[in-house]
Amino acid sequence: MKYEIIGDFDVIVIGMGGAGLRAAIASHDAGARTAILTMGDNSPTQCGATTTAEYSYSAPLAIADPRDNADVFLDDISKVGLGVNDPQLSALLAEHASSRLLEMRSWGVRFDLKQPGGLLQQNRLAGHSYPRAVHFDYATGREMARGLHRHAVAKGVQVLPYRFALDLVVEDGRSKGVLVLNIARDRLELFTGGAVVLATGGASGIWDLNSNPPGIDGDGMAMALRAGVELVDMEFQQFFPACLVAPPFLRGTNFPFFSRGMLLNSGGEAFLKNYGLDEGRDVRDVLAIAICKEIEAGRGTPNDGVFVDFTRTPREVLKELAQNSKIRYLRDLGFRPLEDQMEIAPSAHFTMGGILIDAAAKTTIPGLYACGEVCGGCHGANRLAGNALAETQVFGNIAGVNAADYANCNSQRDAEPSTDLVATLIEGVFDERGAKDISKAIDDVKRIRVIMDKNVKVIRDEDSLKEAERQLAELAEKEFSFDKPSGNATFDYGKIEALKRRNTILVAKTVVASALCRDESRGAHYRQDCPRCKEEWDYCNVVAKVDPASGEPATYVQQR
Amino acid sequence: MKKKALFEVYRQDNKDAGGYFKEYLLVIDDSISVYDALWTIRNELDASLALPYFRCRKGVCGSCLMRINGVQRLACRIPVRKALGEDGVIRVTPPKGRPILKDLITGWGDHDEV
Ligand SMILES: Cc1cc2nc3c(=O)[nH]c(=O)nc-3n(C[C@H](O)[C@H](O)[C@H](O)COP(=O)(O)OP(=O)(O)OC[C@H]3O[C@@H](n4cnc5c(N)ncnc54)[C@H](O)[C@@H]3O)c2cc1C
Ligand code: FES
């Protein structure tokens, strides 16, 4: 099958969220010819979850409280991480979040100030000992994407939009590039290069009710697994406590304002106190579990949610909320989110688990690096608000510097993979017979999301996980083939969704296997058949890897 | 409320082709956004319609910028109810001043690198 070989770059970054942008800037600064490949267009409007991130970037700048510093920040991260975190990665996050933030500011990324020309404004969020949340106009991620994209492009980072990464090319035990479908031209491209940085974001899209923008379905994790890379902590998925469940076209829109009001069950009772919680000011895992328990007990709304009520919220707070851009958005659509009770439920939001990296953002494969939400390790069993955006910058920088260093030290000349390997990778996806299975494959992807919602959500147990395992295995039995790229099916994002089928299956199976392996409850992983932390699991991680013989993910436990 | 709406959607096969309008008659819940209505067309009536793949769910990203009955706006922020003219028509064209790559997908000029 035909493909274009593109060998103009030393470092290829896959994904243009905050992590990919930061990695590309660092790699470019270290002297490497750097390209970013992204599914969307060449603009900050489609930079993954980063564009949609709302409120906060956590940095222990100690502006609002002089007692704050990196050590206290690390303590807070470790406290909610419950011993699951890789201490080295968490320490890097705590240590470098502030300097990466100030650097962004120097590049023109704006943040809210206390007064014009004054100091940065910092707010305190759940789980943080001090006010650390730096923000901009309730669209902090969009502002980061804008500023970072502009800075990267101005420097000379090459952005290659409309590229869907299909597979990593790994041969002789090292990274040799990436196989890509050019969506705009409907053609295959093989990018060969010194080093590859995976920055494709999390896997929340494999759940039906999720808060993420389209396309965040664990592609990078699936590619890594197929290439023999290990994933860690995949049983830890954060569910944002409050996302809209109705009307259908707003399903998944997150509704963070719940903490300013009260959560009511179908009987109108403020139920959180029955779980020993303080009206929404707790960290996310505990809240999500309480809300789901209430719904499962039959006290939820008809759409399997609970209500958010603001009748007891002070008038000044309501006035302030009314200015919020998301509240205004809902009003534009004809809703009265502060007056009428909206229905919310926990929904898949952030993947704590992911690719296993070391302190240099290296994977186990030489030449392959990873950063941002696609990685596991730095948050552990639960992630604090604001720490994901900080993670993108801290680890994006580390990955970019080290990938450039690797590329500078390893000549590209012998990096070209064998044509046999590339042919095998292509045949894994496309078929010369030209069968058209697109709509069936998309149906499967939707089915997987429902399986995950039913069985692998906030509250799981062995039975539900086994059921998911069975259903996923059954679904995976079918063989699919897709038309080989011909140049005609341009901008066919339906085809992209279909091509994600195998990724979605693989990542879903990995989550299920990891959740079955950890037979205890900890942080965001709540097993109702073993509802407590078990001491023997302290400082243990579930690591997943594809067994080359069966092609299935297998798990083992690693103790630190 | 379910309502009948005639969508006249701008189509263009590629960068260099000429444009034309294609009509789709829908009976839909008129509280959904125009962007969601376009996705309904794409998913249920015509898989060949090219739409921006992204959405932010909060009316901030700008991916869904289009001209709706001649007025440039975010298609995710306006309900069908408000967009419907008296004639029951919603005419959708790409945003002004941006190169059209296919149908409602537009690029950014020099940096499309396709
Ligand atoms: C609604 C919402 C609100 C949030 N609010 C906050 C907040 O206030 N504070 C905070 O710290 N965190 C927040 N988060 C989490 C945070 O936004 C993300 O964890 C973070 O932005 C991830 O950045 P990233 O660069 O790793 O990945 P992303 O920003 O998700 O970027 C992934 C990139 O990879 C590309 N990609 C994916 N698959 C492929 C493929 N196969 N081929 C090519 N490209 C691909 C995508 O197109 C995209 O460009 C929020 C998340 C959501 C969904
Ligand atoms: S989808 Fe983001 S502004 Fe409309």
- CA–CA gap between residue B106 and residue B96 (Å, rounded): 10
CA distances from A423 to A167, A182, A431 (A): 12, 17, 11
- Residue A435's pLDDT is 56
CATH number at residue A301: 3.90.700.10
> Is the pLDDT at A280 greater than 80, yes or no?
no
Residue A59: CB atoms within 10 A of its CB come to 29
Please check whether residue B111 lies inside any domain of the structure: no
- CA–CA gap between residue A114 and residue A118 (Å, rounded): 6
Cis peptide before A247 (omega within 30 of 0): yes
Q: Which ligand is located closest to the Cα atom of residue A44?
A: 1
- CA–CA gap between residue A82 and residue A283 (Å, rounded): 13
- Residue A481's pLDDT is 80
CATH number at residue B41: 3.10.20.30
Contact B73 CB / ligand 2 (< 6 Å): no
Helices (H), A207-271: 219-226
* Residue A494 touches partner B, C-beta closer than 8 Å: yes
Please check whether residue B65 lies inside any domain of the structure: yes
| Average predicted confidence (pLDDT) for chain A | 95
At A151, which helix (H) or strand (E)? Answer: helix A140-155
Helices (H), A353-500: 387-409, 419-427, 438-455, 462-476, 493-499
Please check whether residue B93 lies inside any domain of the structure: yes
Mutate: best of B53, B100, B105, partner A, most A CBs <10 A: B53
| Average predicted confidence (pLDDT) for chain B | 94
The beta strand positions in A38-102, using DSSP E, are 57-58
pLDDT, tens digit, for every residue of A317-337? Answer: 999 999 999 999 999 999 999
Please check whether residue A312 lies inside any domain of the structure: yes
Q: Which among A334, A439, A490 has the least Cβ separation from residue B102?
A: A490
Q: Please tell me whether the overall predicted TM-score, pTM, comes out greater than 0.95 for this model.
A: yes
Please check whether residue A307 lies inside any domain of the structure: yes
> Is the pLDDT at A478 greater than 90, yes or no?
no
Single out the residue in A347, A368, A391 at which a domain terminates: A347
Helices (H), A410-461: 419-427, 438-455
Please check whether residue A442 lies inside any domain of the structure: yes
Please check whether residue B89 lies inside any domain of the structure: yes
pLDDT, tens digit, for every residue of A401-439? Answer: 999 999 998 866 567 899 999 999 999 898 766 556 888
Instruction: For residue A483, name the pLDDT band (cuts at 50, 70, 90).
Output: confident
Domain coverage including residue B20: 2-106
CB A321 within 8 A of CB A257: yes
Tell me how many domains chain A contains: 2
CATH number at residue A467: 1.20.58.100
Where do we find the tokens 């991916």? B63
Q: Supply the ipTM of this predicted assembly.
A: 0.95
Domain coverage including residue A448: 429-531
CB A529 within 8 A of CB A518: no
Please check whether residue B114 lies inside any domain of the structure: no
> Is the pLDDT at A158 greater than 90, yes or no?
yes
Q: How large is the average pLDDT for residues B32-49?
A: 95
Please check whether residue B56 lies inside any domain of the structure: yes
Where do we find the tokens 């851009």? A325
Please check whether residue B31 lies inside any domain of the structure: yes
**Burial of residue A149, with CB atoms counted within 10 A of its CB: 0-12 exposed, 13-18 middle, 19 or more buried:** buried
- Range scoring the smallest mean pLDDT among A104-108, A477-481, B66-70: A477-481
pLDDT, tens digit, for every residue of A351-373? Answer: 999 999 999 999 999 999 999 99
The token pair at A505 is: 């299956």
> Is the pLDDT at B114 greater than 70, yes or no?
no
- CA–CA gap between residue A328 and residue A492 (Å, rounded): 33
DSSP state of A445: H
Q: Which among B31, B52, B101 has the least Cβ separation from residue A184?
A: B101
Instruction: For residue A391, name the pLDDT band (cuts at 50, 70, 90).
Output: very high
> Is the pLDDT at A279 greater than 80, yes or no?
no
* Phi, psi torsion values for A25, nearest 5 degrees: -60, -45
* Residue B31 touches partner A, C-beta closer than 8 Å: yes
- CA–CA gap between residue A132 and residue A136 (Å, rounded): 13
Tell me how many domains chain B contains: 1
